[in-house]
Amino acid sequence: MSPKTVQKIANVFVWGGGVITIAILLGIILYVLIQGVPSLSLEFLITPPKGGLGGEGGISTAIVGTLYLLGVTLAILLVPGIGAGIYLAEYARDNRFTRIIRYAVETLAGVPSIVFGLFGFALFVTSLHFNFSILSGALTLVCLLLPTLIRTTEEAVRTVPRSYREGALAMGASKWQTIRHVVLPAAMPGIITGIILCAGRIVEETACLYVTMGGSSAMPTSLFSGGRTLSLHLFYLAMETRAFDKAMATGAVLIIIIISVNALTNWLSQRYQRKIRGG
């Protein structure tokens, strides 16, 4: 076979790969949207699910559960995550302690969600007696997301040019003043992107919440109530009821949220790029 023929076959192979990938992406998104959007209505969003084999009702409690979980998780996550990121970028030196921390962050990043769920189940639900609750779910998620926020924060802070720090120090600012008033504000867009990334993962997470939040479809009223997120609700609909149309509709809501979050993140990073160039 001549090299030219091989090239032609290779082209088909390469383009084929691309086409299949796009087909998968579009296939999933379009399928869920087409199947799910017809069942979407305002009523669907604000009615609580009534359980049962028919999967009656809407997804209001799941929406509230998701938002509640989002708020609590982020509230607990922000300080440790950003603090650790600042430490790694600004204070850490090449010593044993730093290497241990980096190893811990990398390893944690690879642990599967269900193992976090087991941990959360053992510690928060059982040992600490928080039971199946938003709090247990949130604390478990914090452990899961810490590496993500630490990494994105560290990177965002490292990107801040050295000249800014030098300028501030040369004016007699202390190290913390430099970080707080110059470095952090400059790194803020990157940090916010990281936070939005974590928020996206909170919405999509299922496995670790499955074993820490319980499956209650009631409206969560406090930190210690059980509850469902949209993802969990979709799972229960698909596995315990015949209401596949409702499951699709929930899926559609999820997809719309994810696409919006992605678009927001992309738009934010483009704005950030422009701002550095002095727009």
Partner 1 sequence: MTSHVIIDRTAKYVTIICASASFVILGAIFVFTLREGLPAFQAIGVIDFLFGTEWRPGQEMFGILPMILGSLLVTLGAMILAIPIGIACAILLAEVASYRMRQIFRPAVELLVGIPSVVYGLVGLMLIVPAVRQIGGTGFSILAASIVLMAMVLPTVISISEDSLRAVPRGYKEAALAMGSTDWQWIWHVQLPAARSGIVAGIVLGMGRAIGETMAMIMVIGNSVVIPDSILSSARTLTGNIAVEIMYAAGIHRSALFSTGVILFLIILALNTVATFALKRGLKAHHVA
Partner 2 sequence: MEYKMQTRNLDFYYGPKQVLKQVSITMRDRQITALIGPSGCGKSTLLRVLNRMNDIIPLVRLEGEVLLDGNDIYAPGVDVVEVRKRVGMVFQHPNPFPKSIYENVAFGAKMMGIKDKAYLNETVERSLRAAALWDEVKDDLDKSGLALSGGQQQRLCIARALAIEPEVILMDEPCSALDPVSTLKIEDLMQELKTQYTIIIVTHNMQQAARVSDRAGFLLMGELIEYSETDDIFSRPRDKRTEDYITGRFG
* Residues of this chain that bind partner 2 (CB under 8 A): 161, 163-164, 166-174, 177, 181-182, 185-186, 275-279
Task: Compute the least distance from the CB of residue 64 to partner 1, in Å.
Answer: 18
Cβ(59)–Cβ(44) below 8 Å: yes
Q: Cβ atoms within 10 A of the Cβ of 16, count?
A: 10
Task: Compute the least distance from the CB of residue 122 to partner 2, in Å.
Answer: 44
Task: Compute the least distance from the CB of residue 278 to partner 2, in Å.
Answer: 3
Residue 51 bridge partners (DSSP)? 56
Binding partner of residue 179 among partner 1, partner 2, none, CB cut-off 5 to 8 Å per kind: partner 1
Binding partner of residue 253 among partner 2, partner 1, none, CB cut-off 5 to 8 Å per kind: none
> For strand 49-51 and strand 56-57, is the pairing parallel, antiparallel, or unpaired?
antiparallel
Binding partner of residue 124 among partner 1, partner 2, none, CB cut-off 5 to 8 Å per kind: none
Smaller CB distance to partner 2: residue 193 or 225?
193
Task: Compute the least distance from the CB of residue 163 to partner 1, in Å.
Answer: 21
Phi, psi of 205 (to 5 degrees): -65, 140
- As to burial, measured by CB atoms within 10 angstroms (0-12 exposed, 13-18 middle, 19+ buried), residue 62 is buried
Give the dihedral sign, CA 266/271/275/279: positive
Binding partner of residue 170 among partner 2, partner 1, none, CB cut-off 5 to 8 Å per kind: partner 2
Residue 49 bridge partners (DSSP)? 57
Smaller CB distance to partner 2: residue 131 or 177?
177
Smaller CB distance to partner 2: residue 83 or 167?
167
Task: Compute the least distance from the CB of residue 24 to partner 2, in Å.
Answer: 41
Binding partner of residue 75 among partner 2, partner 1, none, CB cut-off 5 to 8 Å per kind: none
Smaller CB distance to partner 2: residue 8 or 181?
181
Task: Compute the least distance from the CB of residue 47 to partner 1, in Å.
Answer: 21
Cβ(252)–Cβ(32) below 8 Å: yes
Smaller CB distance to partner 2: residue 8 or 180?
180
Tokens encoding 80: 């440790």
Smaller CB distance to partner 2: residue 114 or 173?
173
Residues counted in the chain: 279
Query: Measured between alpha carbons, how far is 195 from 200 in angstroms, rounded to an integer?
Result: 9
Residue type present at position 98: T
Binding partner of residue 258 among partner 1, partner 2, none, CB cut-off 5 to 8 Å per kind: partner 1
Cβ(216)–Cβ(136) below 8 Å: no
Task: Compute the least distance from the CB of residue 271 to partner 1, in Å.
Answer: 16
Binding partner of residue 264 among partner 2, partner 1, none, CB cut-off 5 to 8 Å per kind: none
Smaller CB distance to partner 1: residue 64 or 256?
256
3 state DSSP class of 39 = helix
Residue 125: closest CA among 213, 46, 65 = 213
